[in-house]
Structure 1
Amino acid sequence: MTFQNTLEFAQQLDAKDKLFKYRKEFHYPKVNGKEVIYFTGNSLGLQPKRTQAYVDEVMKDWRELAVEGHFYADKPWWDYHERLASGLAKVVGASPKEVTVMNTLTVNLHLLMVSFYQPTAKRFKILCEEKAFPSDQYMLQSQLRFHGLDPKDALVEVKKRDGEHSWRTEDILDKINEVGEELALVLMGGVNYYNGQVLDMEAITKAGKSVGAFVGWDLAHAAGNVKLNLHDWDVDFAAWCSYKYMNSGPGNASGSFVHERHLGKTDIPRFEGWWGNKKETRFLMEPEFDPIATADAWQLSNPPILSLAPYLASLELFDEVGMDALLEKQKTITAYLEFVLHEIDKQVESSFEIITPKERGCQLSVFLHGEGRSLFDYLMKNGVITDWREPNVIRLAPAPFYCSYADMYNFGQILKQGILKK
């Protein structure tokens, strides 16, 4: 497709967009009385309008049924989380029994590492990407110290090459083979939060398994954003937050994946709680844990229903649209945003450098050479909600559910005005 940097062309694309109608399904903040151009779905997705009804239903059941809501609500609370499994499975490429919803992202990664990081004198190292998201860094370092290991010796970081902004798959695979029999776990971010790069999860998983390591993924920026096939890729475990591209609300519950070959085992290392016990015997209050033969076995406590209700509302949207349609628009709208950036770059003295490689989801991370925080502030004051990363990077994520092609054009014009006003 040959793009044009005109409002008319952008509106033509919107007219052909099968997902355009879904913009009406979301609430938008307003600046100066106008709906914003929202580029931060990679931090917090917009609220679906249908969310309110799902939350109100729970509040009504609580008000009218109280404790009986666990069993007699229209969506009984005791198995409420099971309603999310089918939709989530489609998003991450799994079977419903391999996914569950519980806790929050870093909590779940810690819990999953209980099962999948069991260091020995010979095999004890963990491999991750250089400058992983801080929470992952803290988690990995604390896990190593918990096991009596020094992160300086046991944590292996794959670095980018000098002068490059993204990782090369061959460098990751080479490092896995180099660490070899000492490698206990590969745990990386499937989509890097800073540069937006999508790692080759299939190839990395295969390489990690080939040297005898477990392989897990932090999918915070991947779930609902990129194509995932966790089961077919033979991933051991994964976890993701639900409030970014999944639009479930701030700090909401996390999704988790455990491959089916690890399910139904009573001897797997695991922190256990009563909601992971089989439903048939849960309320018998037996002293011995009897795990559900699904990923629910990793649950500890009864699920937070008021958190799951918005997640279920969002998953209904994903089920209506399907990941294939979202990915198709994601590819086109991100390419159009890239085109607009290059067109504006030709018209101003500043220079934009897109540091996100072609292996990407819908995020573009852009170095604004010659610009400072004042440009970001200008964008925010003029209705463009984006985010800033030092030293001078803005992250732009045109989420396909609620961003339009006209948004991309209008953003370009606001960006241009902000630069020229210096």
Structure 2
Amino acid sequence: MEQCREGGWLKAHGRQRTDSTHILAKIRSLSRTLRVAQTMVYVLNVLSEVTPGWIRAHVPVEWVERYGQRLEEERLPKEEQERTQYANQVGTDGWMLLDALQSPCVPDWMRTLPAVTTLRTIWEQQFEAQEQGGQWRKEPVLPAAQLVTSPYDLDARNGKKRSTFWTGYKVHFTQTCDEDAPQLITAVQTTAAPLSDEGIISAIHADLAEKELLPDQHLVDSGYVTIANLVQSQSDHEVDLVGPTLKTHWYQAETGYDLTHFSIDWEAETVTCPQGRTSSSWTPIQEANKSLIKVKFSINDCKVCPSRTLCTGTPRRSMTLHPKEQMQALFAAREREHTAAFKETYRHRAGIEGVHSQGVRTMELRRSRYIGLRKTHLAHVAIAAAMNLVQLTRLPEGRSTRASPYFSFQAGDEASSLRESF
């Protein structure tokens, strides 16, 4: 990137685009039942290597049949009741092993083995506490972002995006997309699979700011565009976040009085409805670490309103507002979406799909080659650097996409000279 900057191919400001794609971890996807059983296999294998004498003295012989062979989903019980009994048996075995490791005669290094720590973590997530019986939970109590999905990769998580389910990670590539310059990847973020796109925008902008490569316009899809991101991008980094905003799913949005039909007086802290009635309450609240405003209208006004069916299905209309700056940013973004200038600018975002396709088809981006988030991220940085080199070799040919063998042959001499100079 430093050489690209020196060569004049990479500059700050301008336009950049970001999108994400799913990454499969270098492990099997495991069901909850197979996960706990495989964890027992894992910890017993580790203990057998580092302290075989202790294993012979403390592990029941029947465990050989239960955990001595490779476990497969097809071999587990199919009926729910039998499956629960099997999971509870595995849970009992795990608690017994953990209790044995807490014996005073067990050295500290055995208790703190990573495999033992992993066993304890997964048991706490999948089973009730020992004081409460230690039985199999019907559902984990933690969100997907915190649940360990495999004892072999503690960073991999289960993710879902529309109809796609996977175990692993998510990678975000940010790329320049100015028409008069090569399209180069400027930032790479690798996250856990369940982390939403909206939560990574601040990290991307901080990374670009550190490199002095912040764009003037940042093109993203609707998953990145939130009220908070619209305001924060502009206020913290003077970056115009460009993308379609998520639409509301209230029935008023299509056939009745949605929020755009109401007039908000921020100084007087009142809202006026399309029929001219003023709100009866304005209450600032904190909800999910967000500052919001709850607005309600009078029941007496709403129940006699001739347009009530267009406005609310309850005795009175209520609404939730964000702070003034955020609401104004949202209204401005939605208004801009309907302009020709927005369509002309936003068409440049589509090219980021080709970046993912190139990485998947030519550089094995889809599946991680390594265990863990840090190594997986390092591989993504290497892939991004490789894709940038491919872009630079196409500069003499005046193109940024793949070409036919004949075209590449004719332009081969100029491309070779650039590769040697770089």
Q: Which has the larger radius of gyration?
A: 2
Normalization by structure 1: what TM-score?
A: 0.25
